[in-house]
Amino acid sequence: MVSNNHPIVLSADCPMRQMLDLVGDKWTPPILYLLSSGTKRYTDFQRQIPGVSKKMLTQTLRRLEATGVVQRTVYPVVPPKVEYNLTPFGEKLIEPIAALASWAWQHQEELRLVYERQQVR
């Protein structure tokens, strides 16, 4: 339900649009969901997110780092070790992402039908 206290204005400075620009792509929610359980390495994402290409995973992680959602830590060892964590700002995104995940599980049959209809086109 849309609150009457906040007019829907989808200009570039609208908080709702900014939030959707931040998390509204295909790969960001799964990455954030995985990071909600703690530190991950690049290979963890590759194993746990089927279908994500190396290029898209790298681009998404770089964008999340640049926007202050994810922190990337590089350790000076051989071979190189890189870990990813949520920043405090990124941790604040977990509750709404979890709510969307819960909604998706509750509506999985409808979502499956939507997905199938999209594949026909």
Judged on CB neighbours under 10 Å (0-12, 13-18, 19+), 80 is exposed
Q: Report pLDDT for 70.
A: 98
pLDDT tens for 12-61 read 778 888 888 888 899 999 999 999 999 999 999 999 999 999 999 999 99
Domains of the chain (ranges plus CATH)? 15-120 (1.10.10.10)
Give the relative orientation of helices 15-23 and 28-35 as an angle to the nearest 10 degrees: 80
Query: Strand 40-41 relative to strand 81-86: parallel, antiparallel, unpaired?
Result: antiparallel
Q: What is the mean pLDDT of residues 53-72?
A: 97
